[in-house]
Amino acid sequence: MALTLRQLEIFLAVAETGHVTSAAKRIHLTQSAVSMAISEMENILNGPLFDRQGKKLILNDRGRFLLPYAREIVNKVRNIELLLSEPEGELVGHLHVGASSTIGNYVMPYVVSAFTREHPKVYINLVVGNSRQIEQQVEEGVLDIGFIEGLVHSNKIESQEWLTDRLNIIANPQHPLCQKKELSVHDLVDARWIMREEGSGTAEIFKNTISKYISNFEVFLELGHTEAIKKAVEAGMGLSCLSALTVCREVENGWLKILHIPELEITRQLLIIIRKDKLKTNLLREFISFCNFIKDCCQASEICLTSPYKLLQLLEHHQEMVV
Amino acid sequence: MALTLRQLEIFLAVAETGHVTSAAKRIHLTQSAVSMAISEMENILNGPLFDRQGKKLILNDRGRFLLPYAREIVNKVRNIELLLSEPEGELVGHLHVGASSTIGNYVMPYVVSAFTREHPKVYINLVVGNSRQIEQQVEEGVLDIGFIEGLVHSNKIESQEWLTDRLNIIANPQHPLCQKKELSVHDLVDARWIMREEGSGTAEIFKNTISKYISNFEVFLELGHTEAIKKAVEAGMGLSCLSALTVCREVENGWLKILHIPELEITRQLLIIIRKDKLKTNLLREFISFCNFIKDCCQASEICLTSPYKLLQLLEHHQEMVV
DNA sequence: ATATTATCAAAAATTTTGATTGATTTTTTA
DNA sequence: TAAAAAATCAATCAAAATTTTTGATAATAT
């Protein structure tokens, strides 16, 4: 690669003015520097780019061919410099975000879409996996930031508390237990349970907790997907226990009902995780503060992010605060 | 305009290798020059482009944002240089050609050797992969041209039809079915099938097609390599279905026989793919026209490229036409 | 006669190198 | 298994090499 950007710039100036001297003035160089740069280019490209008509330099076919490319390339580099070097300017960048399954499927899509709506030049790549995988990829540096349930294992990672998730026991609204007020664990003895299969963190926590109260606790049906479980519960096949984040929309619409049982009020902390030694770019800092804002709002208003619409409401609020 | 093309090149090398030292080797600079160039860029762009993890340099969001632009710009300038600096006369250059497995193993070697025989100063690097990989590398600009079976996914790529491939059902010549004239699908009910294992495009197409006619279609033996399958069929272990390109030599020599079954006449289009915005150098243009010539000849004469010798015959014909 | 381009050697700026330092990773040893 | 030693790597600095730019001059066109 022998051509330089400088040469392309000089070429543009000459092509556009048609004169070496005026081009030199335009880009604050001496006439001699411009002349030499052009002949160097013609050397590199193995042939002339201009027809010399007396004192004028007029593009020949090769020069005409080069012109649009030179323009495009120079413009592109200028744009990039502007975008990346302006610290106060518009936010740009490619952020790699990871989230565990529940967060990744039920929360992050809204967060990501709201954030990119505010910062259209930002591209966010959302990776969904289990908490272990996400943590590992954050540690490796593949991901800039991760959102997980549960604990952090690596000592290279720092975490901060994000939203609090609640495990809800859900039932079809026509279910007999929904009619009763003041439920207790003992009302659940004869219930049929529909749960995620072995390996789900949510299911495990719930089984451990309820086993303390109900000795012969047994799962009636195991399903592989959260959505399938909700459908089964809606259909009245039994009860289940799922993250509030995954069921709040159905609850709002009255398709499912939550059974409040004092002994089984299980909450768990969602965490934001980042490598300790990670240098926070503007973009990353901004994204974190955006997430923290969402956290504050959710805590204050007990709102659950059931729709992009709700998040947008929060955002307007955010805008006001910024202004 | 502070950034230079050199810096972008260096940035690419570091981003792609993840290390300063290996990047330096790749572009024939010292470790120190590379290190300084990167920090100079980070200066110009007012912030880091990499996370330093011990000895590794991993792109951060700003670096990832820059990467595709850097690639594009560097590629563009390289293309322009190549194109404009190419002298008339003897063809020279390094062509990067990719081909999917069948084409790459059974067709391209002949094409490449014939082409370089005509143009001894040309070096061709032939990469074999699956169609997906080849397409991606053509899109990235790693490959100048690709040859694939199946469809193009990227909208940055233009394709043109090349040879037509046929799936042939093959049998040992002593196989009872070879004695019969006028075969139909129903004659295959009791056949033993030897196929490529799960994941082979060819095997998949065939299974889908024959399942329409034979309900309990079952594979008797799965093997990992095309050559192994041919050997097994030659040994009389059963029938198989393979691309005509891979079996035509054995068929010509009488080691295998093709069973023609009207319902199972499966053909598929082989494609030549190139980035839409690729500047075609003399070399690339010449290579494409060479491939098109081969296509025309194969269509006209129903010849299958079973040997370098046959291709040479075609070439003599080509020479005549040129002269 | 004036203005302009091309060319040359000298000056200025920049890129690259070689050597060194400090950190991290891998291998060896206890 | 843990500690010590060796090897590897990135960053930094000053010197060297290279490239770019200048100032002066010759050649050419209006």
Q: How far is CA A241 from the centre of its chain?
A: 28
Q: Is the dihedral of CA A54, A60, A62, A67 positive or negative?
A: positive
pLDDT computed for residue A206 by the predictor: 87
pLDDT in tens, A186-227: 888 888 999 987 667 788 888 888 888 888 888 888 888 888
Q: Residues near A42 by Cβ (< 8 Å), separated by ≥ 6? A: A48, A49
Q: Is the pLDDT of residue A240 over 90?
A: yes
Which pairs with CB-CB distance under 8 Å and at least 24 residues apart come from A12-18? A12/A67, A12/A70, A12/A71, A12/A74, A14/A38, A14/A50, A14/A57, A15/A50, A15/A59, A15/A63, A15/A67, A15/A70, A18/A56, A18/A57, A18/A58
Partner residue facing A141 (CB), from B1, B53, B73: B53
Cβ <8 Å between A144 and B60: yes
Beta strand A221-223 with A194-196: parallel, antiparallel or unpaired? parallel
Which nucleotide lies closest to B55 by the C1' atom and the CA atom?
D9
Q: How sure is the predictor about A98, in pLDDT bands with cuts at 50, 70 and 90?
A: very high
Helix, strand, coil percentages, rounded to 5, for chain A: 50, 20, 30
pLDDT in tens, B125-154: 899 988 888 998 888 777 889 999 888 888
Which pairs with CB-CB distance under 8 Å and at least 24 residues apart come from A262-266? A262/A184, A263/A184, A263/A185, A263/A213, A264/A167, A264/A169, A264/A185, A264/A206, A264/A209, A264/A210, A265/A166, A266/A166, A266/A167, A266/A205, A266/A206, A266/A209
Across residues A168-179, what is the average pLDDT? 88
pLDDT computed for residue B295 by the predictor: 87
B36 CA to D12 C1' distance (Å): 9
Please classify residue A13 by burial: count the beta carbons closer than 10 Å to its beta carbon, then call 0-12 exposed, 13-18 middle and 19+ buried.
buried
Q: How sure is the predictor about A1, in pLDDT bands with cuts at 50, 70 and 90?
A: low
Q: Is the CB of A19 under 7 A from strand C?
A: yes
Cβ <8 Å between A1 and B1: no
Query: Residue B158's beta-bridge partner residues?
Result: B274
Q: Residues near B47 by Cβ (< 8 Å), separated by ≥ 6? A: A84, A85, A87, A281, A282, B62
Selected for mutation to probe chain A from B10, B42, B61 (highest A CB count within 10 Å) is B61
Distance between CA atoms of B5 and A8, rounded to whole angstroms? 11
| DSSP H stretches of helix in chain A | 5-17, 20-26, 31-44, 61-85, 101-106, 108-118, 131-140, 176-179, 201-211, 226-234, 244-252, 282-301, 308-322
Helix, strand, coil percentages, rounded to 5, for chain B: 50, 20, 30
Q: Is A16 helix (H, G, I), strand (E, B) or coil?
A: helix
Torsion angle of the four alpha carbons A296, A278, A111, A194, in this order, in degrees rounded to the nearest 10? -90
A35 CA to D30 C1' distance (Å): 20
Nearest amino-acid residue to C8, taking CA and C1': A32
Which residues of chain B approach chain A closer than 8 Å at the C-beta? 1-6, 8-9, 44-48, 51, 53, 56, 58, 60-62, 64-66, 69, 72-74, 76-78, 80-81, 84-87
Q: Which secondary-structure segment (H or E) carries B146? A: strand B145-149
Partner residue facing A85 (CB), from B45, B74, B80: B45
Query: Residue B164's beta-bridge partner residues?
Result: B269
pLDDT computed for residue B270 by the predictor: 92
Chain B residues inside the 8 Å CB shell of A275: 51, 53
Partner residue facing B84 (CB), from A45, A92, A275: A45
Q: Is the CB of A94 under 7 A from strand C?
A: no
pLDDT computed for residue A49 by the predictor: 87
A30 CA to D23 C1' distance (Å): 10
What's at A258, amino acid-wise?
A: I
Nearest CA in chain B to A287: B61
Chain B residues inside the 8 Å CB shell of A78: 1
Q: Is the CB of B3 under 7 A from strand C?
A: no
B68 CA to D12 C1' distance (Å): 30
Torsion angle of the four alpha carbons B217, B223, B228, B229, in this order, in degrees rounded to the nearest 10? 10
A36 CA to D21 C1' distance (Å): 10
Distance between CA atoms of A15 and A255, rounded to whole angstroms? 70
Are A242 and A168 in contact by the 8 Å Cβ rule? The answer is yes
The angle at the Cα of B105, spanning B102 to B108, to the nearest 5 degrees, equals 100
Partner residue facing B77 (CB), from A3, A96, A141: A3
Chain B residues 40-99 with Cβ under 7 Å of strand C are 40, 53-55
Residuewise pLDDT in 10s, chain B (323 residues): 589 999 999 999 999 999 999 999 999 999 999 999 999 999 999 999 999 988 999 999 999 999 999 999 999 999 888 888 877 667 777 788 999 988 999 889 989 998 988 888 788 989 998 888 899 888 877 788 999 988 888 888 999 999 988 899 999 988 888 888 888 888 888 888 999 876 667 888 888 888 888 888 888 888 888 888 999 998 889 899 998 888 888 888 889 999 998 888 888 899 999 988 776 777 888 899 999 988 887 776 666 666 667 777 766 665 565 54
Distance between CA atoms of A73 and A77, rounded to whole angstroms? 6
Q: How sure is the predictor about A74, in pLDDT bands with cuts at 50, 70 and 90?
A: very high
Are B245 and B147 in contact by the 8 Å Cβ rule? The answer is no
Query: Residue B187's beta-bridge partner residues?
Result: none
Strand C nucleotides within a 7 Å radius of protein CB atoms: 3-9, 15-19, 23-25
The average confidence (pLDDT) of chain A is 87
How far does A299 lie from chain B, in Å, by closest CA? 30
Structure tokens at B266: 């499966």
A178-187, A244-253, B53-62 — which is least confidently predicted?
A178-187
Selected for mutation to probe chain A from B28, B42, B45, B65 (highest A CB count within 10 Å) is B65
CB atoms within 10 A of CB B253: 9
Partner residue facing A73 (CB), from B4, B6, B73: B73
Pick from A240, A206, A205: which is nearest to A226 by CA? Answer: A240
Are B3 and A77 in contact by the 8 Å Cβ rule? The answer is yes
pLDDT computed for residue A34 by the predictor: 95
CB atoms within 10 A of CB A77: 22
pLDDT computed for residue B3 by the predictor: 94
pLDDT computed for residue B249 by the predictor: 84
B171 CA to C12 C1' distance (Å): 79
Q: Is the CB of B180 under 7 A from strand C?
A: no
Q: Residues near B178 by Cβ (< 8 Å), separated by ≥ 6? A: B171, B172, B257, B259
B71 CA to C13 C1' distance (Å): 28
Pick from B2, B61, B47: which is nearest to A86 by CA? Answer: B47
Distance between CA atoms of B216 and A51, rounded to whole angstroms? 75
Partner residue facing A4 (CB), from B4, B46, B78: B4
Q: How sure is the predictor about A297, in pLDDT bands with cuts at 50, 70 and 90?
A: confident
CB atoms within 10 A of CB B315: 19
Are A49 and A41 in contact by the 8 Å Cβ rule? The answer is yes
CB atoms within 10 A of CB A131: 24
Chain A residues inside the 8 Å CB shell of B64: 93-94, 96
Residues around strand D, C-beta < 7 Å? A 4, 6-7, 10, 28-33, 36-37, 40, 53-55; B 19-22, 31-32, 35-36, 38-39, 52, 55-57
pLDDT computed for residue B315 by the predictor: 65
Nearest CA in chain B to A27: B1
Distance between CA atoms of B222 and B242, rounded to whole angstroms? 13
B205 CA to D3 C1' distance (Å): 61
pLDDT computed for residue A97 by the predictor: 96
Across residues A66-84, what is the average pLDDT? 91
